[in-house]
């Protein structure tokens, strides 16, 4: 079978590129797979981070790809669709996480051969930070596909609101496995210059308003005892608002800041130094951070938004807070360290890791293709 993947791959960095690389490698074991990459993923004005590209220290999976689609140049839409169409894939698999990509990828999808089934993995249907053009762009994109893969009930529900007759497969996010092994807490803390005797709380990933870091900072200020809050990730914009909240905390010296892009080789340090990972999100569909936590067998505390509850509470891999509220997050942290046996969480994570493999994900994808 010939399978084309149209999305971001190396040299682009981030969880989506790594997800795509894992899918590529798994499908390539038995099929003829070709990666079609972005020539330009975002204009710089839409990306407030330092760089979109893999840097030194990243253990990115290097996938050979054809960089052809410039999302800001409609002429490249025509070229891209022509190149892929001439290759005659049985499946064109794409990723969709924000409406900016709807015009480019939607155009390409609409210009495939009738024999090509167009399937999209949907990270979000309705974005966390909404704009007036999101709904019409998303409708255009969804109507360019034959089927969809959704990673949570929340995304499925959003999909059906816009496209009630959509054909979809719902399956969980597989576990990332390219970060290497977990190391001892004491060793990791020594490298990061953090006291290993403290109860270490981790907030990890790109810092954006909807992820609720301010909620966690407020919750941390209510805690009594030997706790550290480790904030590791690149701010999506200014960090000033968060810094001001940290500066007024009585325990501000126990907030450990690593507010920069965290390279792949550093990721094991943070997840090994932590006792729990907190996702205090205001909104979400699913989170790639939970897949990293699973890899390092680190329990989680999360708010009940999007698909996070089904990913964590149902399999018993952490604690779910009913709403994004600082007092409730603080209570959950104390409950985790005071009453909940974290060993049970770890055992449940180990069981989930066996289920959430890339081979299972790709097997379900191919079975779904046969139904279209």
User: Quick one: average pLDDT of 148-157?
Assistant: 92
Strand partners, 277: 202, 300
Residue 230: which domain range?
185-355
CATH number assigned to the domain comprising residue 197: 3.40.50.2000
| 179 occurs within a structural domain | no
Give tens-digit pLDDT for 95-136: 999 899 999 999 999 999 999 999 999 998 987 666 778 999
| Least confident interval from 33-42, 53-62, 244-253 | 53-62
Are residues 35 and 165 both part of a single domain? Answer: yes
Band (48; pLDDT cuts 50, 70, 90): low
How far are the Cα atoms of 22, 31, 216, 355 from residue 359, in angstroms, in the given order?
Answer: 10, 13, 36, 10
SS (H, E, C) 32-73: EEEEEEEEECCCHHHCCCCCCECCCCCCCCCCCEEEEEECCC
Q: Is 10 left (phi over 0), alpha (psi -120 to 50) or beta?
A: beta
How far are the Cα atoms of 30, 85, 312, 325, 354 from residue 214, in angstroms, in the given order?
Answer: 46, 47, 22, 10, 34
pLDDT for position 49 = 64
User: What's the order of all strands across the beta sheet hosting 91-96?
Assistant: 65-70, 32-40, 2-6, 91-96, 117-122, 147-150, 168-170
pLDDT for position 118 = 98
Give tens-digit pLDDT for 240-269: 999 999 999 999 999 999 999 898 889 999
Are residues 10 and 60 both part of a single domain? Answer: yes
pLDDT for position 261 = 87
Are residues 116 and 257 both part of a single domain? Answer: no
Are residues 167 and 198 both part of a single domain? Answer: no
- Return the structure tokens found at 49: 């981070």
SS (H, E, C) 284-341: CCCCHHHHHHHHCCCCEEEECCCCHHHHHCCCCCEEEECCCCHHHHHHHHHHHHHCCC
* Cα–Cα distance for residue pair 85/209, rounded to 1 Å: 40
Are residues 155 and 196 both part of a single domain? Answer: no
Taken as a whole, the chain contains a residue count of: 372
Are residues 68 and 157 both part of a single domain? Answer: yes
What is the average pLDDT value for the chain, to the nearest integer?
92
Residue 93 has pLDDT above 90, yes or no: yes
- Return the structure tokens found at 103: 């015009």
- Return the structure tokens found at 353: 């890791």
Total tally of structural domains belonging to the chain: 2
| 201 occurs within a structural domain | yes
Are residues 48 and 6 both part of a single domain? Answer: yes
Angle at 42 between CA 236 and CA 209, to 5 degrees: 20
Are residues 155 and 17 both part of a single domain? Answer: yes
Band (179; pLDDT cuts 50, 70, 90): confident
pLDDT for position 237 = 84
- CB of 285 within 8 A of CB of 321? no
* Cα–Cα distance for residue pair 32/270, rounded to 1 Å: 37
| 365 occurs within a structural domain | yes
Are residues 170 and 207 both part of a single domain? Answer: no
Are residues 169 and 190 both part of a single domain? Answer: no
* Cα–Cα distance for residue pair 126/307, rounded to 1 Å: 13
How far are the Cα atoms of 34, 37, 294, 355 from residue 288, in angstroms, in the given order?
Answer: 24, 21, 10, 16
pLDDT for position 232 = 98
| 264 occurs within a structural domain | yes
Dihedral angle sign, alpha carbons of residues 340, 342, 347, 348: positive
User: Quick one: average pLDDT of 177-183?
Assistant: 86
């Amino acid at each position: 079978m010939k399978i084309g993947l149209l999305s971001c791959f190396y040299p682009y960095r981030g969880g989506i590129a790594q997800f795509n690389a894992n899918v590529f490698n798994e499908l390539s074991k038995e099929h003829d797979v070709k990666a079609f990459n972005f020539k330009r993923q975002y204009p710089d004005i839409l990306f407030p981070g330092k760089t979109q590209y893999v840097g030194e220290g990243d253990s990115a999976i290097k996938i050979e790809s054809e960089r052809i689609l410039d999302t800001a140049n409609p002429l490249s839409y025509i070229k891209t669709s022509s190149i892929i169409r001439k290759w005659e894939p049985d499946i064109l698999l794409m990723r969709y996480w924000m409406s900016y990509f709807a015009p480019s990828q939607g155009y390409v999808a609409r210009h495939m051969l009738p024999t090509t089934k167009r399937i999209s993995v949907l990270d979000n249907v309705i974005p966390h930070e909404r704009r007036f053009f999101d709904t019409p762009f998303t409708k255009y994109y969804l109507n360019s596909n034959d089927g969809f893969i959704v990673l949570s009930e929340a995304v499925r529900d959003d999909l059906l609101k816009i496209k009630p007759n959509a054909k979809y497969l719902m399956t969980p996010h597989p576990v990332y496995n390219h970060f290497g092994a977990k190391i001892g807490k004491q060793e990791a803390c020594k490298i990061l210059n953090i006291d290993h005797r403290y109860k270490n709380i981790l907030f990890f990933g790109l810092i954006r308003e909807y992820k609720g870091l301010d909620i966690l900072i407020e919750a941390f200020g209510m805690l009594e005892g030997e706790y550290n809050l480790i904030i590791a990730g690149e701010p999506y914009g200014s960090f000033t608002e968060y810094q001001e909240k940290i500066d007024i905390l009585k325990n501000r010296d126990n907030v450990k800041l690593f507010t920069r892009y965290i390279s792949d080789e550093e990721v094991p340090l943070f997840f090994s130094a932590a006792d729990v990972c907190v996702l205090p999100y205001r909104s979400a569909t699913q989170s790639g951070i939970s897949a990293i936590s699973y890899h390092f067998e680190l329990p989680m505390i999360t708010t009940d938004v999007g698909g996070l509850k089904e990913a964590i509470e149902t399999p018993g891999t952490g604690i779910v807070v009913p709403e994004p509220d600082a007092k409730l997050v603080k209570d959950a942290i104390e409950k985790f360290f005071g009453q909940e046996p974290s060993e049970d969480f770890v055992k449940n994570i180990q069981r989930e890791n066996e289920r959430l493999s890339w081979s299972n994900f790709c097997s379900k994808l191919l079975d779904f293709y046969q139904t279209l």
